[in-house]
């Protein structure tokens, strides 16, 4: 039996729902001080907003757009707090009467890497990392010449999401199941693309990830990368094949998921996020799509189980016949923790 050393996953990653008030809004109950908060309004049209502690509160990127970062240092999300965050009086995710969801990750340990001084990588980087949970936020200045960048994890990242901060360009995604010869873009429904321009056809290592000469991952300006490594009983990145049956494919993760992120690679479909905060009982029906500004897309999708998730849809967005899907999932409870406590069923 594989045990998890992370007894309480919600101390590192936690989805939290809230209600907007159109004013200063202190959101509590996250369980930690976030370093990355991803915000989305559920009951109306609004952009996805990502705010992190490395770029600074008040600056946001839109998951569904190619825009450069917005904000003036005091907009949208104004502070990360010990048990959550504070939103300002702006609209979108905090409009009066809006129902919102936040997906929150903790990093918390600052790092810097002078590549010429350490001999690690070829491009300087800095950021915030949590080696226990396998998450880092890495900032670097691109060169548009192929290079390598220290990510701080001390483990091989299985998924990396990169965005130019000051340049309008896409969200480029590396996933271990796609390999480093392929890329996907999070703001589109597009299928797999190929080309060395983005990951230099080189898989990441426990110290660095590689970028090619393309502006999407190596623009000659400031870039941000969110890097995720697998941790037993806490996080899992993999792939599965759909069967177009409501008694669908079961995906073993080794934990009861709190957050599931899915994308079809063998055809054009939305990226989809499901979580246990919006769907505390099975079947999980409330989908949000990072590539659109739309609100909740309702319809049976998955059962969240003590050891993984199971498709309950015939929809090609998650379970098309013979189609390949990548996923990233984070735990609500490990299947069995190192204290021998087992995950409970829903």
Could you tell me the residue ranges of all domains in the chain?
Answer: 9-105, 109-229, 235-334
The predicted pLDDT at position 54 comes to 98
pTM summary value? 0.96
Phi, psi of 209 (to 5 degrees): -120, 155
CB contact at 8 A, 115 and 121: yes
For the chain, report the end-to-end CA distance as a whole number of angstroms. Answer: 21
| Cα separation, 149 vs 138, whole angstroms | 9
Measured CA to CA in angstroms, residue 115 lies from 199, 220, 259, 264 at distances of: 18, 17, 35, 36
The predicted pLDDT at position 343 comes to 64
| Cα separation, 264 vs 267, whole angstroms | 6
Element (H, E) at 218: helix 215-218
Structure tokens at 17: 């729902």
The predicted pLDDT at position 296 comes to 94
What does DSSP assign to residue 30? S
Query: Tokens 């929809």 belong to which residue?
Result: 315
The predicted pLDDT at position 185 comes to 98
Strand partners, 324: 241
The predicted pLDDT at position 335 comes to 72
Structure tokens at 317: 């967005």
| Cα separation, 152 vs 141, whole angstroms | 16
Rounded to 5°, angle at Cα 58 from 126 and 258: 75
| Cα separation, 150 vs 208, whole angstroms | 4
Structure tokens at 301: 């999708």
The predicted pLDDT at position 7 comes to 86
Query: Tokens 């998924």 belong to which residue?
Result: 159
**Which of 61, 80, 77, 24 is CA-nearest to residue 139?**
61
CB contact at 8 A, 170 and 63: no
- As averages over each run of 10 residues, the pLDDT of the chain (346 residues) reads 80 97 96 98 95 95 96 83 92 89 98 98 98 98 98 98 97 98 97 96 98 97 98 97 95 96 95 96 96 93 95 93 97 73 64
What does DSSP assign to residue 199? H
Instruction: Decide: residue 281, CB within 10 A, 0-12 exposed, 13-18 middle, 19+ buried.
Output: exposed
CB contact at 8 A, 304 and 281: no
């Amino acid at each position: 039996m594989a045990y998890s050393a992370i007894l309480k996953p919600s101390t590192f990653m936690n989805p939290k729902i809230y209600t907007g008030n159109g004013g200063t809004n202190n959101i509590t109950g996250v369980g930690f001080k976030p370093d990355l908060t991803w915000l989305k309004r559920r009951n109306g049209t609004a952009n996805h907003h990502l705010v992190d502690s490395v770029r600074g509160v008040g600056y946001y990127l839109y998951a569904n757009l190619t825009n450069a970062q917005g904000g003036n240092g005091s907009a949208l999300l104004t502070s990360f707090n010990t048990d959550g965050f504070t939103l300002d009086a702006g609209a979108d995710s905090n409009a009066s009467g809006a129902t919102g969801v936040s997906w929150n990750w903790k990093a918390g340990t600052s790092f810097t890497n002078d590549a010429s001084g350490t001999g690690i990588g070829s491009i300087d980087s800095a950021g915030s990392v949590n080696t226990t949970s396998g998450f880092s936020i890495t900032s670097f200045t691109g060169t548009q010449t192929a290079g390598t960048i220290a990510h701080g994890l001390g483990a091989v990242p299985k998924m990396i999401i990169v965005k130019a901060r000051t340049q309008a360009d896409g969200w480029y995604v590396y996933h271990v199941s796609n390999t480093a010869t392929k890329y996907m873009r999070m703001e589109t429904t597009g299928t797999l693309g190929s080309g060395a321009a983005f990951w230099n056809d080189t898989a990441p290592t426990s110290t660095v990830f590689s970028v090619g000469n393309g502006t999407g991952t190596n623009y000659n300006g400031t870039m941000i990368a969110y890097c995720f490594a697998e941790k037993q009983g806490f996080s899992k990145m993999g792939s599965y094949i759909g069967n177009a049956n409501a008694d669908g494919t079961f995906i073993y993760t080794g934990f009861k998921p709190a957050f599931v992120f899915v994308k079809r690679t063998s055809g054009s479909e939305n990226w989809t996020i499901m979580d246990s905060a919006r769907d505390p009982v099975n079947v999980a029906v409330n989908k949000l799509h990072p590539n659109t500004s739309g609100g909740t897309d309702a319809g049976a999708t998955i059962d969240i189980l003590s050891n993984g998730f199971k498709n309950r849809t015939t929809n090609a967005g998650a379970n098309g016949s013979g189609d390949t899907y990548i996923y990233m999932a984070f735990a609500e409870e490990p299947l069995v923790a190192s204290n021998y406590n087992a995950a409970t069923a829903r």
